[in-house]
Chain A
Amino acid sequence: MNTNTMKWLLRREFWENKGSMFWAPLVVGALLVLLVGGTVGYGIIGHGVPGHIVINGQTVANGGMSAAISLDSRIMIAKVASGMYLATASPLFFMLVFAVFFYCLNSLYDERRDRSILFWKSLPVSDTMTVLSKAAMAMIVAPLITIVLAVAASLALLVVVCIALGTQGMNMFGTMLASPDLYLSPLRLLSLLPVYVVWALPTVGWLMLVSSWARSKPFIWAVGVPLTGLLLLQWTNAAMQKISGTSLAIMPYAQDLVARILGGVVPGIWFTYRTDLAPDLRPTASGIDVGAIVSNSYASLAGLDAWFGVALGALMLFGAIRLRRWRDEG
Chain B
Amino acid sequence: MNAVIEAKNLSKRYGKRIAVDGIDFTIPAGRIVGLIGPNGSGKTTTLKAALGLIPFDGELSVLGFDPRTQRDDLMQDVCFIADVAILPRWLRVGDAIDFVAGVHPRFNRAKAERYIASTKLNPAMKVKEMSKGMIVQLHLALVMAIDAKLLVLDEPTLGLDILYRKQFYQNLLEDYFDEHKTIVITTHQVEEVEHILTDLMFIRDGRIVLAASMEEIGERYIEVMVAQDKISAANALQPIDRRTVFGKAVMLFDAGVPGGATRQQLAALGETRNPSVADLFVATMKGSYA
Contacts and interface: CB of A to CB of B under 8 A. Distances in A.
Contacts of A12: 95, 99
Interface residues of B, number: 31
A52 B121 CA distance: 62
Given A122-B81, A126-B72, A326-B55, A5 B102 contact: yes
Interface of B: 48, 51, 53-55, 71-72, 75-76, 79-83, 86-92, 95, 98-100, 102-105, 139, 143
A59 interface: no
B81 A15 contact: no
A74 to B, nearest CB: 51
Interface string A39-70: 00000000000000000000000000000000
Contacts of B98: 8, 11
A122 B79 contact: yes
A124 B75 contact: yes
Nearest to B14: A328
Nearest to B75: A124
B261 to A, nearest CB: 44
B102 A118 contact: no
A12 B90 CA distance: 10
A290 B87 CA distance: 48
16 contacts: A8-B98, A15-B92, A15-B95, A16-B88, A118-B80, A119-B88, A121-B53, A122-B80, A122-B82, A123-B75, A124-B103, A124-B104, A125-B103, A126-B71, A325-B71, A328-B54
A114 B91 CA distance: 13
Interface in A110-124: 111, 114-116, 118-119, 121-124
B247 to A, nearest CB: 46
* Top-6 shortest CB links A-B: A8-B102, A116-B88, A118-B82, A124-B75, A115-B86, A126-B72
Contact of B54 (A111, A118, A326): A326
A7 B86 contact: no
A4 interface: yes
A124 B48 contact: no
A116 B103 contact: no
Contact of A16 (B75, B81, B90): B90
Which label, helix, strand, loop or mixed, suits the secondary structure of the A interface? helix
Contacts of A5: 102-103
A119 B89 CA distance: 12
Nearest to B82: A118
Contacts of A16: 88, 90
Given A8-B102, A122-B79, A124-B76, 17 more contacts: A5-B102, A5-B103, A8-B103, A11-B98, A11-B99, A15-B95, A16-B88, A114-B86, A116-B87, A118-B80, A118-B82, A119-B82, A122-B82, A122-B143, A123-B104, A124-B75, A328-B53
Interface residues of A, number: 24
A244 B49 CA distance: 56
Given A8-B99, A328-B48, A116 B86 contact: yes
Contacts of B99: 8, 11-12
Interface string A295-330: 000000000000000000000000000000110100
B128 to A, nearest CB: 11
Contact of B86 (A118, A325, A326): A118
Nearest to A117: B86
Most central of A4, A122, A126 by chain B CB within 10 Å? A122
A4 B102 contact: yes
A123 B89 CA distance: 18
Contacts of B139: 119
Contacts of A115: 83, 86
A47 to B, nearest CB: 48
Contacts of B86: 114-116, 118-119
B102 A7 contact: yes
A111 B89 CA distance: 10
A9 B89 CA distance: 17
Contacts of A325: 71
A328 B92 CA distance: 27
Most central of A5, A9, A15, A126 by chain B CB within 10 Å? A15
A111 B53 contact: no
A224 B100 CA distance: 38
Contacts of B54: 326, 328
Given A15-B92, A15-B95, A328-B53, A123 B81 contact: no
Nearest to B87: A119
A304 B51 CA distance: 43
Contacts of B105: 124
Interface in A1-37: 4-5, 7-9, 11-12, 15-16
A11 B90 CA distance: 13
Nearest to A2: B103
Contacts of B51: 121-122
A290 B18 CA distance: 65
Contacts of B102: 4-5, 7-8, 11
Contacts of B89: 114
B121 to A, nearest CB: 16
Given A5-B102, A8-B99, A124-B103, A114 B88 contact: yes
Contacts of A326: 54-55
Nearest to B72: A126
A23 to B, nearest CB: 13
